[in-house]
Amino acid sequence: QVQLVESGGGLVQPGGSLRLSCAASGRALSPNVMGWFRQVPGKQRELVATISRTGTTNYADSVKGRFTISRENAKNTVYLQMNSLKPEDTAVYFCRAHYELRDVYWGQGTQVTVSS
């Protein structure tokens, strides 16, 4: 009953910036944890960043210092500000909403391509 819609992906040059957004709908209660994952074809999906309802954040080592995750609980929306983008950041980025226990929902993904 939960739907996640991502937006903000696109093509950007190395060193550039993008901001991804993900809005969750279908449930009044805000998710306990929201996050971003990414996946390259043929590879396993990997964690990029997560944020709790109270604002606690975690980042993958590869993006720490360059990416910032944030959320607006009233809007059930999570954001990922991506700065100093590198070609290795190219992937499909997926939004995840975690409510309780194993009650997890995923968005359809948005493509991020970093290339000159």
pLDDT digits (tens, 9 = 90+) for 84-94: 999 999 999 99
* % of the chain residues with pLDDT over 90: 88
Does residue 39 register a pLDDT over 90?
A: yes
Averaged pLDDT for residues 20-35: 92
- Find the angle CA(50)-CA(103)-CA(110) to the nearest 5 degrees: 50
- For residue range 65-106, list pLDDT tens digits in order: 999 999 998 888 999 999 999 999 999 999 999 998 889 999
Three-class SS state of 37: strand
Half-sphere exposure of 31 (CA within 13 A, CB side): 31
| Residue 116: count of CB within 10 angstroms of its CB | 8
Report d(CA 58, CA 87) in Å as an integer: 22
Residue 57 token pair: 């954040």
Q: For the chain, what percentages of helix, strand and coil (3-state, to nearest 5) are there?
A: 5, 55, 40
What's the pLDDT at 1?
81
What's the pLDDT at 37?
98
